[in-house]
Chain A
Amino acid sequence: MKRNHQELDVKLDQLAEAIRLESPAEQTINESAERVWARLASQAEVAPIIETAPAERIRSCADFQSLIPVYLHGELSDARALLLEDHTHECIPCRKALKEARNGARTLATKAKRANLSTQRKHVPAVWRWSIAAGLLLCIGIAASVFTHRFSPFGEAIAANVESANGTVFRVSESDSRTITAGEAIKRGETIRTAKDSGAMVRLADGSLIEMRERSEFSLSDSVQGTTIHLERGDIIVQAAKQHAKHLYVATPDSLVSVTGTIFSVNSGTKGSRVSVVEGEVHVNHSGTEDVLHPGEQAATQPTLERVPVAEEVAWSRNADLYAKELAQVASLRKELNERVPHPGVRYSTRFLDMVPDNTVLYAALPNLSATLSESHRIMQERIAQNPALREWWSEREKSGQHVAGPNQMIEKVRAFGEYLGDEIVLSAGLDERGEPGSLLVLGELKNAQGFRPFLERQVKELGAEAKNSPNVHVIDDPLAQSTATATDAKPANELYIWIHEDFFAASPKLEQLRQLETTINTPTTNRFAGTPFYTRISEIYREGAGLIVAADLEKIVQQRIQEEAKTPEGAKRLETYRQLGLLNLKHFVVEQKEGEGKTQSRAILTFNEPRRGIASWLAAPAPMGSLQYVSPDANVATAFVVKEPALLVDDLLGFMDTVSPDLRKHLQDLEAQHGLDVKRDLAAPLGGEFAFAVDGPLAPTPSWKMVVEVYDQARLQQTFEHVIDELNRWAATQHRGGLQWEQTQSGGRTFYTLRSVDFSGVEVNYTYANGYLIVAPSRALIERAIQYHDSGYTLLHAPQFTASLPEDGHTNFSAVFYYNLGAMLAPVAEHFAESKNMTDEQRQSLKSLTGDLRPTLAYAYAQGDRITIASNTEGGPFGLGAARLLGAPSDFDIQHILMNCMGSKNAEKH
C-alpha cells in the first residue's frame, strides 16, 4: 500500500507531536535523580580525568595543528572539531598535517602491534612534538572508528557505487587490494584505484558522477560542508550534481577544488594538478590563491605545468563526443525558435482605436501570433523527432502534464483560426455607472471574411457538442436590425454576439455594445473617445510601433473612486491619504512588449497628470550610481536607487503620517525631544541620495549582505549613530540587557566600526566610510573586500552578465536598478517550502518552475518629470511571453536536465 507525501507528513507530525507530549511522572524523575546524584558523588571523587593539552585559544595554523591529535582521538569538542574540519578544508598545510597525522597513526599502529605493546611503555620527555606522537599512540585503538564516525555525519556508510568498470578496478586497503566489479558499493574512507588501460564510472550518493581514467586513485570523505573526493593521483572528470546548501570538493595534494554543480576535470600528477572546466563555475584554491574558472578555462598548480586545450584534457572520456555534440544540438533549438521563426511585425496604426466606446478604461491589443506559434511548433516537432534526447524529455514532459501548451490538436485549432484572422485583435473594457468594469468588446481583423462565418459556425457547433457550459453564440448581420427579444430571455452572462462586418469582426456579451459600435461606424463624429488623453496616449504607442499593448486609464478609475469615497467622512479621510501618497495624480499605465532585432523589449510606464508628488516622486531622475562599484560581479542580488533629498522624504512621510494618525506625529516629536534627536536634521540631512544593497558572497553561515549609502556629512551621521546607540544602551540597561558594544579599529588609514550585541552572541554589524559612502556589512572582511572591488575596478558594473543585459536606449543612467542571479541561491529554500504542507499543489508547481526559470535578470526604472518607466531587457521580457516559452520549449534549466539525463542513460547502456 503506497501512501502519498501528505499522509506521511501528517503521520510524521503526529508521531513527533505525540513524542513531544510524552512526559515521565514526577516521582520517576525524583527517584532517578537521587540515584544519579549518589553515583556522581561517589564516582567523581575517585575517577581520574584524562586531559590532553590542546591550545587554549586558536590563533594560528600551529594552534590548529596542535588540535589534530585530540581530534583524531575523538575528544575535541564539537565546536572545535568543526573549526578544525573547516580550516583543513581551506588550508593546505594543515590538511597535509592532518593527513600525515592520520597516516602516522596507522603506521605507528602496525609497528606497535608487531612489537609487544607492554614492553614499549617507557618515559618519553615531555617535548611537544613527542607528545603529539604519543597522543597518536594513545588513540590507536579507536582512531579508525573515530575516523569513520567523524566523516560520516549522515550515518550512511555507503558513499558511492561503481556504476561501470572497464578493465580492472581495485579497492585498496593497508593490507591488500581486491578487485571490484560494477554495482559494488564504496564506503567512506575506502580507496579505489584503476589499473592501466582501465576506467570506471562512480556514482556518489548525491547523484554526482565521477569518471576515472586509467591509473587513477581516490577516496571519499564527508564533512558538514559536503563530500570531498581525495584524488591521490590520476585523472577524473566530475559531473557534479546540484549541491543544495553544500559543496562538492576535490582535494589533490596541492589544491582544493570546490563546486556546486558543474562538469570539470581534475588531473593530478607528479608535477602538480590541473583543473579544466567543461560547464559551470569552479573555484580552485592552490598555493594560497583562489582561481575562479569558467567553461573552457583551466588552472594549474605549478608554473611548469603548461596549459592544454580543455577538449584535449577530457578527450580520454567515453563521453567526449557527447559533451560537445549534445549540448550544441539542444541549445540550438532554442536559438532557432527565437531567431528564425518570423515574429509578427510591429503595427503603426489601427482602426479599432476609433471604434472602442467612450467609456473605455482598459485597452489591450494583441498581434496575431498563430503563424509564429504554429511555425515554432513545426520546428520543435521536427527537432524532437530527430533528436532522441529531446524526444525523451518531451514525452516525460507530456506525461507530467507540465506546461505543454502545444498538443497537436490545440495548435491545429489556433492555426486554423489564425488563417482567417488579420494582424490584430483588440479587447476593450469600460467602466459602467457603478464604477464596475464592464461593457467588454473584442475586435479583430479578418483576412478571409467570407470563409470566416461558416468556419465560425462549425466551430461553435463542435464546441457546443463538447462542453455544456459554452456560451450561447449568435452570429448576426446587423446589430441595429437585430431584435433584442432573444437577448432578454436568456441570462446575459451566457450570451455572446458576434458581428461580422466587412473585413473585421466584433464580439461582445451585450448586444447593446454592438449597436453602439454600428452607430459609431456609420457616423464617426459621434465617438467622443477620440478626443480623450487616453486615446492620444494609445495612438502615441502605435506611432512608435506596437506589439502587445495593455493600457489602463487610471485617471478615470481614480475619478470614479474619488466620487465614491467623497460620499462618506471615512472615505474623505482615505482620499487625503491617497493625496499625500501622490496616488490621485495617476494618469495612465501602459505595458508594452515588442520584438525587434532578435530581442524582446518590454516596459511598463506609469504616467501622472502633473509632476510626480508624494511617494511617487521619491525616485529621482536617472543619475550615476557610484554605490554599485562596491558590488562584485558574482553578486546574487544587487539593487540601487537614487532619491530626491532625503530630508524632503522625511517631510513627505510626516505629512503622510498626519493623515493616518495625528497622534503618531506628536508621539514622534515627544520621542525626539526626549532623546535629543531630530530625525530630519541628524539622520536624513547627512545622507546623500544614493542607496545600494547587495547579497554578494556565500550565504552560510551568515548571508554576505552589504549596504552602501552615499553620505554628505560623515561627522554628523557618525555623531547621530553614537548618540542613538548610547540612548539604546541606556534603555537596554533598564531592561537588564547588555545592549550593544562599540569597537573601533584603524586599518589602512580607515576607521572600522563594529557594533556587537551583548545579548546575542555572533550578531554584529560592521561599517566604515569610504570615498563619501557608508559601507555596512556583517563582517569587516566583507567591507574590506567591497573596497577592494571598488579600487580594482572588478565590479558588477563591468561584469559581462550585467553589461549584456543593459538596454539599448538613450539613457546613460538609471533611477533604480534591480539585478538578480538567484537560481542557485533559491533552489534549496524553494525545495524546502515546496514540501511544506501549507501550500497548494499549484503554488508548489509555480515555485518549482520559478526556481527553474531563474537566470540573471536586470530590471530598471527611469523616473522623469511626469512618468516612471520600468523595463527589463532579458529574453522573453518580464512578462515572459516569448513564443518559445508559450510552446514549452526547453529553458536553460531544461537543457541541463536533458543533458544530464542523456548522459546517465548513455552510461547505463554501456555496462
Chain B
Amino acid sequence: MQATVAHIRAVPRPPGELERLFREHHAQIFRTAYRVTGSATDAEDVLQTVFLRLARRQQDDAQQDFSPNPMSYFHRAAVNASLDLLRGRSRAKSVSLEDVSSDLVSSAQLSPEAQHEERELRKLLRQAVARLGEHAAEVFALRYFEGYDNREIAEMLKTSQMVVAVTLHRARTRLRREISEFLEKSYEA
C-alpha cells in the first residue's frame, strides 16, 4: 500500500553538489550546533541530520529553501535540528537542581568549581530555550546565540521585525522567570 502514496526514489545526488555544500558549511553548522546543544557529540549528530535532510530534499525544494542565501539556510537548519535534539532529550530527563549554582558573578575570574557551576547554568538556559515554542526558540537562538539582529531574523523567517521583537520579549520574560525560579529553588535546596 505504501507504494500507492509514496514513490521510492534513490537519493538525488548531483555529482559533487552535496559534497561542495558539506565542505563549505560543515564547520559553521557544527559550531552553531555546539553553541545550541553545548556538546560536541550532539553537534556531530546535528551535522549528520542536517545533511541527511538536505540530501533527501535537495532535488525538490533546495532552490527555494536556500534563499536568501545558503548561509542563513544552514544556520536555521542547524539551530532547529539542535533544538529538536534538545527537546527530545528534555522529555526524557531534566537537570537536577542541586547541580546548578546560583552565583551571579561573571565567569571571568571564577574558581574551577564556580566555572563548573556556571557551565551548569548555561545548560539550564539551553534546555529552557529548547522548552520555548519552536518559533520562539529559533528566534531566540538566532538572536542571542548566533548574533543575528532583529532585521536579519525577520528577513530569514519572512516575518516582520515587530513580530521578532515581540517574540524575543516574550521569550526573555519566560527565560527570566525560569532562571529566577531555578535560582530560588537551588537556594532553598
Contact = CB atoms under 8 A, between A and B. Distances in A.
A19 B1 contact: no
Interface in A1-58: 1-3, 5, 7-9, 11-20, 22-24, 28-29, 32-33, 35-37, 39-40, 43-45, 47-53
B172 to A, nearest CB: 7
A175 to B, nearest CB: 24
Contacts, number: 196
Nearest to A7: B104
- Chain B interface size, under 10 / 10 to 19 / 20 to 34 / 35 or more: 35 or more
B133 A155 contact: yes
Contacts of A134: 1, 4-5
Interface string A741-766: 00000000000000000001110000
A32 B168 CA distance: 33
Contact of A18 (B51, B107, B162): B107
B116 interface: no
Given A19-B126, A29-B30, A77-B61, A123 B176 contact: no
B5 A153 contact: no
A52 B2 CA distance: 10
A135 interface: yes
Contacts of A50: 2, 6, 8
Nearest to A703: B160
A35 B131 CA distance: 30
Contact of B165 (A20, A154, A829): A829
Nearest to B34: A24
Of listed A24, A703, A762, residue having the most chain B CB within 10 A = A24
A135 B125 contact: no
Interface stretch (A694-702, A802-810, A816-824): A694-702
B30 A33 contact: yes
Contacts of A37: 22, 26
Contacts of B1: 120-124, 134, 137-138
Contact of B160 (A22, A48, A700, A760): A700
A405 interface: no
A412 interface: no
A245 B163 contact: yes
B93 to A, nearest CB: 17
A126 interface: yes
A835 B47 CA distance: 36
A806 B41 CA distance: 68
A891 interface: no
Given A49-B11, A154-B136, A835-B172, A22 B34 contact: yes
B5 A135 contact: yes
B122 A8 contact: no
A894 interface: no
A36 B6 CA distance: 28
A130 to B, nearest CB: 7
A138 B48 contact: no
A439 to B, nearest CB: 50
A48 B106 contact: no
A20 B126 CA distance: 11
Contact of A761 (B68, B159, B169): B68
Interface of B is mostly: helix
B114 interface: no
A15 B8 contact: no
Contacts of B9: 48-49, 51
A17 B35 CA distance: 11
B117 interface: no
Of listed A9, A33, A703, residue having the most chain B CB within 10 A = A33
A831 interface: yes
Contact of B125 (A15, A24, A244, A245): A15
B19 to A, nearest CB: 8
Contact of B2 (A9, A17, A138): A138
Nearest to B80: A78
Contacts of B2: 50, 138
Contacts of A772: none
B11 A131 contact: no
Given A24-B30, A35-B44, A77-B65, A51 B163 contact: no
Nearest to A43: B52
Interface string B48-62: 100110011000110
A152 B131 CA distance: 12
Nearest to B118: A18
A387 B87 CA distance: 51
A155 B171 CA distance: 12
Contacts of A761: 67-68
Contacts of B55: 40, 44
A224 interface: yes
A562 B121 CA distance: 63
A550 B102 CA distance: 57
A3 B134 CA distance: 28
Interface string B161-189: 01101101100110110011001100100
Contacts of B179: 8, 11-12, 15
A1 B183 contact: yes
Given A23-B31, A831-B169, A701 B160 contact: yes
B121 A15 contact: yes
B103 to A, nearest CB: 10
Nearest to B65: A77
B109 to A, nearest CB: 14
B26 A155 contact: no
Contact of A32 (B30, B102, B131, B132): B30
17 contacts: A2-B184, A8-B180, A12-B172, A18-B107, A19-B35, A20-B35, A20-B144, A24-B34, A33-B26, A33-B30, A37-B26, A40-B18, A122-B1, A138-B2, A244-B166, A699-B160, A699-B162
Interface of A: 1-3, 5, 7-9, 11-20, 22-24, 28-29, 32-33, 35-37, 39-40, 43-45, 47-53, 69, 77, 79, 120-126, 130-131, 134-135, 137-138, 152-156, 224, 244-245, 699-703, 760-762, 828-829, 831-832, 835
Given A24-B30, A49-B9, 9 more contacts: A12-B179, A23-B34, A44-B13, A44-B55, A131-B5, A137-B1, A152-B133, A154-B135, A835-B173
